[in-house]
Amino acid sequence: MNVKDTKPPPGAIELERFLPYRLNVVAEAVSRALSRIYAERYGITVPEWRILATLGQYGRMTAKDIGAHSRMHKTKVSRAVAHLAGNGLVERMSNADDLRESYLMLTGDGQKVYCSIVPQAIEFAEGLFDGIPACDREMLERLLHQLEMRANQMSKEGE
Protein backbone atom coordinates (compact mmCIF):
# COMPACT_ATOMS: atom_id res chain seq x y z
CA MET A 1 0.00 0.00 0.00
CA ASN A 2 1.37 3.31 -1.07
CA VAL A 3 1.84 5.98 1.57
CA LYS A 4 -0.21 8.31 -0.58
CA ASP A 5 -3.22 6.08 -0.14
CA THR A 6 -3.30 6.47 3.63
CA LYS A 7 -5.97 8.72 5.04
CA PRO A 8 -4.71 11.84 6.77
CA PRO A 9 -5.43 12.10 10.52
CA PRO A 10 -8.55 14.08 11.41
CA GLY A 11 -7.92 17.81 11.41
CA ALA A 12 -5.14 17.48 8.87
CA ILE A 13 -5.02 18.53 5.25
CA GLU A 14 -4.74 15.88 2.58
CA LEU A 15 -2.03 17.62 0.63
CA GLU A 16 -2.50 15.54 -2.51
CA ARG A 17 -5.94 17.03 -2.92
CA PHE A 18 -5.21 20.51 -1.62
CA LEU A 19 -5.63 22.79 -4.59
CA PRO A 20 -2.96 25.44 -3.89
CA TYR A 21 -0.39 22.71 -3.49
CA ARG A 22 -1.59 20.78 -6.53
CA LEU A 23 -1.56 23.84 -8.73
CA ASN A 24 1.97 24.70 -7.75
CA VAL A 25 3.30 21.22 -8.31
CA VAL A 26 1.67 20.89 -11.70
CA ALA A 27 2.61 24.39 -12.82
CA GLU A 28 6.20 23.80 -11.89
CA ALA A 29 6.37 20.42 -13.60
CA VAL A 30 4.90 21.91 -16.77
CA SER A 31 7.10 24.98 -16.67
CA ARG A 32 10.19 22.88 -16.15
CA ALA A 33 9.32 20.58 -19.01
CA LEU A 34 8.61 23.49 -21.33
CA SER A 35 11.80 25.31 -20.46
CA ARG A 36 13.79 22.48 -21.94
CA ILE A 37 12.69 23.77 -25.32
CA TYR A 38 14.17 27.23 -24.96
CA ALA A 39 16.67 26.96 -22.11
CA GLU A 40 19.06 24.42 -23.54
CA ARG A 41 19.04 25.58 -27.12
CA TYR A 42 18.99 29.32 -26.62
CA GLY A 43 20.07 29.90 -23.04
CA ILE A 44 16.84 31.74 -22.36
CA THR A 45 15.40 31.92 -18.85
CA VAL A 46 11.75 31.72 -17.89
CA PRO A 47 11.28 35.49 -17.45
CA GLU A 48 13.07 36.08 -20.74
CA TRP A 49 10.84 33.62 -22.52
CA ARG A 50 7.79 35.35 -21.10
CA ILE A 51 8.99 38.64 -22.50
CA LEU A 52 9.73 37.15 -25.90
CA ALA A 53 6.30 35.57 -25.93
CA THR A 54 4.58 38.79 -24.92
CA LEU A 55 6.40 40.84 -27.52
CA GLY A 56 5.89 38.13 -30.12
CA GLN A 57 2.19 38.31 -29.54
CA TYR A 58 1.70 42.03 -29.08
CA GLY A 59 4.51 43.43 -31.20
CA ARG A 60 5.39 46.51 -29.18
CA MET A 61 4.94 47.25 -25.52
CA THR A 62 6.44 49.18 -22.66
CA ALA A 63 8.23 47.36 -19.86
CA LYS A 64 5.46 48.33 -17.49
CA ASP A 65 2.79 46.82 -19.69
CA ILE A 66 4.79 43.64 -20.14
CA GLY A 67 5.04 43.36 -16.40
CA ALA A 68 1.35 43.99 -15.84
CA HIS A 69 0.34 41.59 -18.55
CA SER A 70 2.65 38.74 -17.68
CA ARG A 71 2.52 39.25 -13.92
CA MET A 72 6.18 39.90 -13.40
CA HIS A 73 7.78 42.32 -11.00
CA LYS A 74 9.20 45.38 -12.71
CA THR A 75 12.75 44.61 -11.65
CA LYS A 76 12.42 41.14 -13.10
CA VAL A 77 11.24 42.65 -16.37
CA SER A 78 13.96 45.28 -16.31
CA ARG A 79 16.74 42.76 -15.87
CA ALA A 80 15.38 40.24 -18.33
CA VAL A 81 14.94 42.96 -20.95
CA ALA A 82 18.46 44.20 -20.31
CA HIS A 83 19.74 40.71 -20.94
CA LEU A 84 17.67 40.19 -24.06
CA ALA A 85 18.74 43.58 -25.39
CA GLY A 86 22.35 42.68 -24.68
CA ASN A 87 21.89 39.54 -26.73
CA GLY A 88 20.30 41.48 -29.55
CA LEU A 89 16.89 39.82 -29.30
CA VAL A 90 14.97 42.88 -28.15
CA GLU A 91 15.37 46.55 -28.94
CA ARG A 92 14.26 49.68 -27.17
CA MET A 93 12.65 52.67 -28.89
CA SER A 94 12.18 55.68 -26.72
CA ASN A 95 8.78 57.26 -26.84
CA ALA A 96 9.12 60.95 -27.75
CA ASP A 97 5.79 61.68 -26.07
CA ASP A 98 6.96 60.32 -22.72
CA LEU A 99 10.66 59.99 -22.28
CA ARG A 100 10.33 57.97 -19.09
CA GLU A 101 9.19 54.92 -20.94
CA SER A 102 10.52 53.00 -23.94
CA TYR A 103 8.76 50.80 -26.37
CA LEU A 104 10.20 47.34 -26.61
CA MET A 105 10.04 45.05 -29.59
CA LEU A 106 11.70 41.97 -30.99
CA THR A 107 14.66 42.50 -33.29
CA GLY A 108 15.05 40.40 -36.44
CA ASP A 109 17.07 37.92 -34.43
CA GLY A 110 14.46 38.02 -31.69
CA GLN A 111 11.76 37.22 -34.24
CA LYS A 112 13.80 34.32 -35.54
CA VAL A 113 14.30 32.86 -32.09
CA TYR A 114 10.67 33.40 -31.18
CA CYS A 115 9.42 31.85 -34.41
CA SER A 116 11.63 28.82 -33.98
CA ILE A 117 10.40 28.25 -30.44
CA VAL A 118 6.69 28.77 -31.09
CA PRO A 119 5.94 25.55 -33.01
CA GLN A 120 7.73 23.46 -30.42
CA ALA A 121 5.95 25.24 -27.59
CA ILE A 122 2.60 24.71 -29.27
CA GLU A 123 3.38 21.09 -29.87
CA PHE A 124 4.37 20.77 -26.25
CA ALA A 125 1.14 22.34 -25.02
CA GLU A 126 -0.85 20.12 -27.36
CA GLY A 127 1.02 17.10 -26.08
CA LEU A 128 -0.03 17.95 -22.56
CA PHE A 129 -3.63 17.58 -23.64
CA ASP A 130 -3.08 14.22 -25.28
CA GLY A 131 -6.13 12.10 -24.68
CA ILE A 132 -8.09 14.92 -23.08
CA PRO A 133 -11.27 15.83 -24.96
CA ALA A 134 -11.69 19.38 -26.21
CA CYS A 135 -14.62 20.09 -23.92
CA ASP A 136 -12.47 19.27 -20.90
CA ARG A 137 -9.82 21.67 -22.09
CA GLU A 138 -12.35 24.45 -22.28
CA MET A 139 -13.58 23.59 -18.84
CA LEU A 140 -10.01 23.74 -17.57
CA GLU A 141 -9.54 27.17 -19.09
CA ARG A 142 -12.74 28.37 -17.47
CA LEU A 143 -11.84 26.90 -14.11
CA LEU A 144 -8.38 28.42 -14.14
CA HIS A 145 -9.87 31.76 -14.96
CA GLN A 146 -12.33 31.55 -12.09
CA LEU A 147 -9.69 30.42 -9.66
CA GLU A 148 -7.46 33.30 -10.61
CA MET A 149 -10.28 35.79 -10.13
CA ARG A 150 -11.20 34.33 -6.76
CA ALA A 151 -7.61 34.21 -5.58
CA ASN A 152 -6.97 37.82 -6.51
CA GLN A 153 -10.19 38.87 -4.87
CA MET A 154 -9.43 36.98 -1.66
CA SER A 155 -5.93 38.36 -1.67
CA LYS A 156 -7.30 41.88 -1.75
CA GLU A 157 -9.92 41.21 0.91
CA GLY A 158 -7.18 40.72 3.47
CA GLU A 159 -6.28 44.38 2.74
91 interacts with DNA by CB under 7 A: no
Separation between Cα atoms, residue 24 and residue 130, nearest integer Å? 21
Positions 91 through 130 that interact with a second copy (CB under 8 A): 114-115, 118, 121-122, 124-125, 127-130
Separation between Cα atoms, residue 18 and residue 86, nearest integer Å? 42
59 interacts with a second copy by CB under 8 A: yes
Strands, E assignment, the chain: 61-62, 90-94, 102-106
Residues 9-28, mask of contacts with a second copy (x by CB under 8 A) = x-xxxxx-xxxxxxxxxxxx
User: Please, which residue, 86 or 158, has the CB nearer to a second copy?
Assistant: 158
Separation between Cα atoms, residue 15 and residue 8, nearest integer Å? 9
Q: For residue 62, report the phi and psi dihedrals to the nearest 5 degrees.
A: -85, 165
Positions 20 through 79 that interact with DNA (CB under 7 A): 45-47, 62-65, 72-79
145 interacts with DNA by CB under 7 A: no
Separation between Cα atoms, residue 74 and residue 41, nearest integer Å? 26
43 interacts with a second copy by CB under 8 A: no
Q: Which residues contribute to the site for DNA (CB under 7 A)?
A: 45-47, 62-65, 72-82, 97-102
